């Protein structure tokens, strides 16, 4: 079965009317359909309140023009995207674009990736993030709490109603559970899910940890906080065991949703994390995964 036939079956479970749109977008962004494993990543947000929310990320994009054309075609804020690119594109070796089609949060996200690969990253990153915040009309006084030199990825969420989120991702290679607990307390989070991570995994089963700080132009305060742990190989069973224990009511719907990706191919979980929203107070498990298409015909 061809990879895009597998993806079609996957979409049919949750967003059957979006597949043709996805294919059109994919072919617009890329010159070919090779190396899909490196270009596509899915994620699910899992909590006790909302239905399953699937997000899609497309990466390995090196042409900002294709993203601009997509914004123009879909009547998104092209001027704000162009301003964002003007500010940070010169230190952005790679771009990505993400979609969230849930009924609660319909948005398009642009990722500015591999920032530390730029030679003058450390000298300019703080000013560039402040300029982005100013352009997005986001109060930047709390940005000073973040060590920008540890950032490696920045994203901007674009909503059709003019709302914007600015997210700053920092990474550290050493994973210590005690530090995670302290980081949660520092951000005034009493995580109900973190104990499941500590029970299910050992520290050496994670490659690194990312902290994500979310700011929005509809709030003067930190809007959200998340931590994502990059997984070593062969941990799929542990990931699903954690989901089953932490959000049991979502375990079987989640397994049904990913089932098409396990029939003719396999999937690999890359990151597992917990996302906390302050407005309203809501914590979710986030699982990131990609289909493994090697050998698929």
Q: Is residue 25 part of a domain?
A: yes
Q: What is the pLDDT of residues 4-48, one digit of tens each?
A: 888 888 888 778 888 888 898 898 899 888 878 889 999 999 998
Q: Is residue 216 part of a domain?
A: yes
Q: Taking the model in full, what pTM does it have?
A: 0.92
Q: Is residue 297 part of a domain?
A: no
> What per-residue confidence (pLDDT) applies to 297?
40
> What per-residue confidence (pLDDT) applies to 294?
62
> What per-residue confidence (pLDDT) applies to 105?
59
Q: State which residues of the chain have pLDDT below 70.
A: 1, 102-105, 294-297
Q: Is residue 251 part of a domain?
A: yes
Q: Is residue 210 part of a domain?
A: yes
Nearest to 55 by CA among 43, 63, 66: 43
> What per-residue confidence (pLDDT) applies to 96?
96
> What per-residue confidence (pLDDT) applies to 296?
44
What range defines the domain where residue 251 resides? Answer: 3-292
CA torsion angle 80 82 86 91 (round to 10): 100
Q: Is residue 229 part of a domain?
A: yes
Count how many domains the chain has. 1
Q: Is residue 121 part of a domain?
A: yes
Contact 33, 4 (CB under 8 A): yes
Q: Is residue 243 part of a domain?
A: yes
Cα–Cα dist 212/145, whole Å? 13
């Amino acid at each position: 079965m061809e990879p895009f036939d597998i993806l079609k079956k996957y979409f049919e479970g949750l967003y059957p009317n979006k597949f043709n749109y996805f294919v059109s977008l994919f072919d617009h962004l890329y010159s070919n359909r090779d190396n899909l494993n490196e270009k596509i990543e899915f994620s699910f947000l899992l909590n006790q309140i909302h239905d399953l929310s699937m997000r899609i990320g497309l990466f390995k994009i090196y042409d900002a023009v294709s993203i601009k054309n997509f914004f123009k075609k879909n009547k998104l804020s092209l001027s704000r995207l162009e301003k964002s690119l003007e500010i940070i594109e010169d230190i952005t070796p790679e771009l990505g674009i993400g979609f969230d089609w849930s009924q609660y949060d319909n948005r398009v996200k642009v990722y500015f990736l591999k920032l530390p690969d730029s030679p003058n990253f450390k000298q300019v990153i703080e000013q560039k993030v402040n300029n982005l915040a100013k352009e997005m009309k986001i109060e930047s006084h709390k940005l000073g709490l973040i060590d920008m030199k540890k950032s490696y990825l920045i994203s901007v969420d674009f909503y059709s109603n003019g709302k914007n989120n600015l997210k700053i991702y920092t990474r550290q290679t050493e994973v210590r559970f005690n530090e995670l607990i302290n980081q949660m307390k520092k951000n005034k989070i009493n995580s109900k899910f973190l104990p499941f991570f500590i029970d299910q995994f050992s520290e050496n089963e994670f490659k690194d940890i990312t902290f994500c700080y979310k700011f929005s132009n509809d709030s003067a305060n930190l809007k959200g906080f998340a931590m994502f742990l990059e997984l070593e190989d062969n941990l799929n069973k542990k990931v699903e065991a954690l989901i089953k224990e932490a959000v049991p009511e979502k375990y079987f719907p989640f397994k049904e949703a990913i089932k098409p990706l396990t029939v003719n191919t396999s999937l690999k979980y890359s990151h597992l994390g917990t996302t906390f929203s302050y407005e309203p107070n809501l914590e979710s498990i986030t699982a990131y995964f990609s289909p493994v298409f090697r050998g698929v015909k």
